[in-house]
Chain A
Amino acid sequence: MSNFVASVGMEVHAELNTQSKMFCRCPVSFGGEPNTRVCPICMGLPGTLPVPNRKAIELVLKTALALNCTIAMHSIFHRKNYFYPDLPKGYQVSQYGDTNPLGYDGYLEIPGPDGETKRVKIRRVHLEEDTGKLMHLPSGGSGVDYNRAGVPLMEIVTEFPPDITTPDEAKDYLTQLRQTLLYLGVCDGKMEEGSLRCEPNISVRIEGTDKYGTKTELKNLNSFRSVQMGVQFEVRRQIAVIEGGGTVAQETRGWNEQKEASYLMRIKEAENDYRYFPDPDLVPMCFDDEYIESLRATLPELPLAKLRRYENDLGLSTYDAGVIAADLNRVEFFEAAMELGGDPKAVCNWLTGDFAKLLNDQGLMPRESKITAAHIVELTKLIADNTISGKTAKDVFAKAFKDGRMPSEIVKESGATQISDDSVIRNLILDVLNANPEAVTKYKSGQMNVKGFLVGQVMRSSGGRANPEMVQKIVSEELEK
């Protein structure tokens, strides 16, 4: 049996975060009654003229810069011609050519499992318009809703030959790309709502050969998991076809989430003859260096840079840094806590532990809760200076989560402060030792493990408030006397 290697190209479509559509001023939002956000322009009625949305162009340029692309200082729109009911004009406005897309020849770096960074080359980042939505009608026929038609859509395509060779890398690329788009605020990244869509193309070839295999394209992947599973399935399917003596056909396949299998949608034919030509209704876009540099200056710190900074400057583990950097809500919280002088590791533990759990249980976003960065920083300081134990802190946090009071206030009121007074703890210990003479005898006869029992008794008698480290230390002192 031969060894196969897979090549995965990624084509990602992202709906841009604009208020209005690409070439008309109909509002952009998900859902809504069908055909209520349409006008003569996005329905392609005769006699209308499109006017590009400046914000959409800017969002694509920002993305292209963040993806290390060359910017096309002169760029035009083309018509991609085909007939399909979801396309009211009979063509989709898009951008054709190698150096015409707003951005080209870039790359995205993804964090690898071994702490390394992998670079995925990007061929193009271009601007186009979304199509309408088709739905099957139970009474026969298909229904068309043009609310989505003309929504600004950005297409990001990886370079060929592909750098991605495994299903995990495909998922990691998409994850990193999505985070980048969210950091830039250009797309809301909701795969389940279709505002971020991924269509991988997959081929396999025998290791050592340099001729790439026939590609299949995969559609209907609406989660990271389905991207990973879909690519995995296709790789295995294609290998099985080849090993069975067959040949892989160039085709578009759909992903069936329930069956966890891909199915044939259509054979790609030469009829995909789109006859691209410059859209005569849309004039060229020309940019100067000053404008592009002013956009570059607005780019935020990007996810991978943030992850590395948390690791290198703040001492977080790669895992922890990744968990924080993966979620802008957490980032916002974490960075606010750092400004208040919080300890990175301690704050991170609360953010990803108890806080995340309580938020999840109630289906809240961090900023919707009563907890602020100040709460978490104060709580970690109360633990660090031994005012309360870690165990008490969990209860205090749960209370603060409920009513929004500051941890110090809750601690003061409940009297739950940690006991760190040497003489108080020593008295508690002496009481326990006097009440358990047989345990003391055992210890003195060499059964050192009874110490744990005695420490437990002291903690219990203090209602969990005694400083555990001090109890350990003083119990040993008293037993050794």
Chain B
Amino acid sequence: MSISLDEVRHVAKLARLELDETEILSLQGELNALLGHFADIQGIDVSGVAPTSHAVSLQNVWSEDAVGPCLPREKALKNSAMSKAGLFVVPQIIED
């Protein structure tokens, strides 16, 4: 299994990364090396082993439905690039 240059470009676009051609080439190599490791793992016989989604053996960690404190709005907005009337301001979104 290997990854094409176009796939690297696609993944970069999804991640909102601006990459030049040199970076794309070098990332292709790195990603393919990673995929190589996965290929090794895929070679292991795991029939009869239940799939796992977590490394820790915890389950059913939850909280009761009770209201707790919020951030004061000044603090919530403090790190925003721009805010107005209590709103975070972002470049105009056309739809929705």
- What residues of chain A have their CB less than 8 Å away from a CB belonging to chain B? 18-20, 24-27, 33-40, 43, 51-57, 76, 81, 83-86, 134-137, 139-146, 219, 254, 265-266, 271, 273, 275, 278, 280, 283-286
Q: What are 27 A-B residue pairs whose CB atoms fall within 8 Å in the complex?
A: A19-B66, A20-B66, A20-B68, A25-B63, A25-B67, A26-B70, A34-B73, A35-B76, A36-B70, A38-B73, A51-B62, A56-B65, A84-B93, A134-B93, A135-B87, A136-B92, A136-B93, A142-B90, A145-B86, A146-B88, A254-B95, A280-B54, A283-B56, A283-B60, A284-B60, A285-B59, A286-B60
Q: Is the CB of B70 within 8 A of A19?
A: no
Closest to B91 in A: A141
A468→B53 CA distance, assembly (Å): 78
Given known contacts A39-B68, A52-B62, what 15 new A-B pairs fall within 8 Å (CB)? A25-B66, A34-B85, A37-B70, A43-B71, A51-B62, A52-B63, A54-B62, A135-B87, A141-B90, A142-B89, A143-B89, A145-B86, A146-B88, A278-B53, A286-B59
A76→B54 CA distance, assembly (Å): 10
Question: Which A residues touch B88, using CB under 8 A?
Answer: 35, 85, 143-144, 146
Question: Which A residues touch B96, using CB under 8 A?
Answer: 86, 134, 219, 265
A52→B62 CA distance, assembly (Å): 5
Given contacts A81-B14, A284-B54, contact A40 B62 (CB under 8 A): no
A298→B71 CA distance, assembly (Å): 36
Closest to B56 in A: A283
Partner of B95, one of A144, A265, A273: A265
A139→B84 CA distance, assembly (Å): 10
Partner of B63, one of A54, A135, A136: A54
Given contacts A55-B65, A144-B87, contact A285 B60 (CB under 8 A): yes
Chain A's nearest CB lies how many Å from the CB of B11? 9
Q: How many residues of B contact A (CB 8 A)?
A: 37
Per-position binary interface string of chain B over residues 8-35, scored 1 when its CB falls under 8 Å from any chain A CB and 0 otherwise: 0010011010000000000000000000
Per-position binary interface string of chain B over residues 43-54, scored 1 when its CB falls under 8 Å from any chain A CB and 0 otherwise: 000000000011
Question: Which B residues touch A275, using CB under 8 A?
Answer: 14
Residue with the highest number of chain A CB atoms closer than 10 Å, among B56, B62, B73, B95: B62
Chain B binding site: helix, strand, loop or mixed by DSSP? loop
Chain A's nearest CB lies how many Å from the CB of B36? 20
Given contacts A26-B68, A34-B87, A143-B87, contact A85 B54 (CB under 8 A): no
Chain A binding site: helix, strand, loop or mixed by DSSP? loop
- What residues of chain B have their CB less than 8 Å away from a CB belonging to chain A? 10, 13-14, 16, 53-54, 56, 58-71, 73, 76-77, 82, 84-93, 95-96
Q: Is the CB of B58 within 8 A of A35?
A: no
Q: Is the CB of A39 within 8 A of B59?
A: no
Question: Which A residues touch B77, using CB under 8 A?
Answer: 35
Chain B's nearest CB lies how many Å from the CB of A222? 13
Chain A's nearest CB lies how many Å from the CB of B63? 4
Partner of B65, one of A19, A37, A266: A19
Chain A's nearest CB lies how many Å from the CB of B25? 22
Query: Sorted from nearest, which 6 A-B pairs have the closest CB atoms?
Result: A143-B87, A25-B68, A55-B65, A278-B53, A144-B88, A54-B62
Q: Is the CB of B65 within 8 A of A35?
A: no
Question: Which B residues touch A52, using CB under 8 A?
Answer: 61-63
Q: Is the CB of A143 within 8 A of B59?
A: no
Partner of A284, one of B10, B59, B87, B93: B59
Closest to A58 in B: B65
Partner of A283, one of B61, B63, B84, B91: B61
Question: Which B residues touch A54, using CB under 8 A?
Answer: 62-65
A380→B4 CA distance, assembly (Å): 80
Question: Which B residues touch A20, using CB under 8 A?
Answer: 65-68
Chain A's nearest CB lies how many Å from the CB of B69? 8
Closest to B93 in A: A142
Chain B's nearest CB lies how many Å from the CB of A127? 12
Chain A's nearest CB lies how many Å from the CB of B38? 14
Question: Which B residues touch A140, using CB under 8 A?
Answer: 92
Chain A's nearest CB lies how many Å from the CB of B10? 8
Q: Is the CB of B65 within 8 A of A18?
A: yes
A266→B95 CA distance, assembly (Å): 8
Q: Is the CB of B91 within 8 A of A53?
A: no
A223→B60 CA distance, assembly (Å): 37
Question: Which A residues touch B64, using CB under 8 A?
Answer: 54-55
Given contacts A18-B65, A39-B71, A283-B59, contact A143 B54 (CB under 8 A): no
Question: Which B residues touch A86, using CB under 8 A?
Answer: 96
Question: Which B residues touch A18, using CB under 8 A?
Answer: 65
Question: Which B residues touch A144, using CB under 8 A?
Answer: 87-90
Q: Is the CB of A36 within 8 A of B73?
A: yes
Q: Is the CB of A38 within 8 A of B71?
A: yes
Partner of B54, one of A35, A142, A283: A283
A55→B89 CA distance, assembly (Å): 33
Question: Which A residues touch B82, using CB under 8 A?
Answer: 141
Q: Is the CB of B87 within 8 A of A27?
A: no
A26→B93 CA distance, assembly (Å): 27
Residue with the highest number of chain A CB atoms closer than 10 Å, among B16, B66, B70: B70
